Amino acid sequence: MRRSATHVHILLLMAIILPAAIGAQENEGGNEFITFTFENDFFVGEDNGYTNGMGLSFSKGPYRKFSRDNLPEWLFSLTSNLYINTMENKQRGVSHSFFQVMQTPEDISTSDLIPNDLPYAGLLGWQGTLYAWDDEVADQLALTLGAVGPVSLAEQSQSLIHELFEADDPRGWDNQIDNEVVIKLEMQRIWSLYRADGSGERIDILGIGGAAIGNLESAARLGIAIRWGSGLTSSFPAFSLQPDRQVNPLSMTPEDDYYLFLGLGIGHVFNNILIQGNSDGNSHSLPLRRQQDQISGGAVWSLGRNAFVFQISSVSSPTTISDSRDLFGALGFTRLF
């Protein structure tokens, strides 16, 4: 049982909607980044249907304060008095991403509902992430807005991708969950727990804590990661156990740096609409696995204005009807302007 195309970002949609969503902004001295990501299980030698993801994110920073010059008016109004903007002696950054999520059962050859497998589900959304950090502590505050159901165009996207790659046509999208507006507010904090002194390659250990609330997903998570390499101090603010899905941490460093990382995350999930179905209870659903975990490892490096991520992740099944884990690899590329 797999999630087909865990994160597929619609590049054309972003090109059309992005200017209106992020507003006209002055650079105010900050750098600008564009990140392209590609995610697929062929990196780990698996072929359980077509599992693929790609995306594009736009990021700016660092700034001393968020303002109307570096945030759209509506987002600045919502966050101007929050901790992410009022903490003293912090640097700040922002990223905007549009994304599409597609989820299917393992068997996509039948048009019949498969009661004991993942629901057909699509999600189309925008995520804005605000960053604030110093040398020891980094905060991330993310707002996700979107919709699930046929309005997400997941059926059309997957059918097009499968046609291009001559893969089996998914036949069960008539059973997908219904249209519903979704929202998620997510907070994450990263602590530098240990950092080895000295020049050249170093080792550090990061602690990670976070929580999310919304009808899309509500969860509480903890994690720990160890890194070895260079540029560790300046790169930890944007660290994630899934670093291909946001700005590359080393895009913030002025030198050619690199590091290897290995991390573990555990969490308790209270609700997830992609597993439990629509809020009214009238769509296909499965019992949610409350305790979930993730193991990720990979390499991050920068060369001039370019930065790269390659990682492999193993995540637990999101439902109690299966104990199988999801294993996939990802490659990300960031360009500094």
Half-sphere exposure (Cβ direction) of 142: Cα atoms closer than 13 Å: 24
pLDDT over threshold 50, residue 85:
yes
- What per-residue confidence (pLDDT) applies to 26? 44
Q: Which two tokens stand for residue 57?
A: 């994110």
- What per-residue confidence (pLDDT) applies to 106? 82
pLDDT over threshold 90, residue 89:
yes
- What per-residue confidence (pLDDT) applies to 73? 93
Tens of pLDDT, residue by residue over 229-256, are 988 888 888 888 875 556 666 665 667 8
Question: pLDDT band at 53, cuts 50/70/90?
Answer: low
Q: Which residues contact 120 (CB under 8 A, 6 or more apart)?
A: 103, 104, 105, 155, 170, 172, 173, 175, 176, 177, 284
Q: Which two tokens stand for residue 144?
A: 């996700």
CA gap 99, 54 in Å, rounded: 9
- What per-residue confidence (pLDDT) applies to 177? 96
CA gap 24, 77 in Å, rounded: 15
Continuous segment of H or E residues that includes residue 276 = helix 273-276
Tens of pLDDT, residue by residue over 176-215, are 999 999 999 999 999 999 998 666 679 999 999 999 999 9
Do residues 117 and 176 touch, judged by C-beta distance below 8 A? no
Tens of pLDDT, residue by residue over 273-288, are 999 999 999 999 999 9
**Would you give the distance in Å from CA 77 to the centre of its chain?**
24
pTM of the model: 0.86
Tens of pLDDT, residue by residue over 21-50, are 444 444 455 688 888 877 665 555 543 433
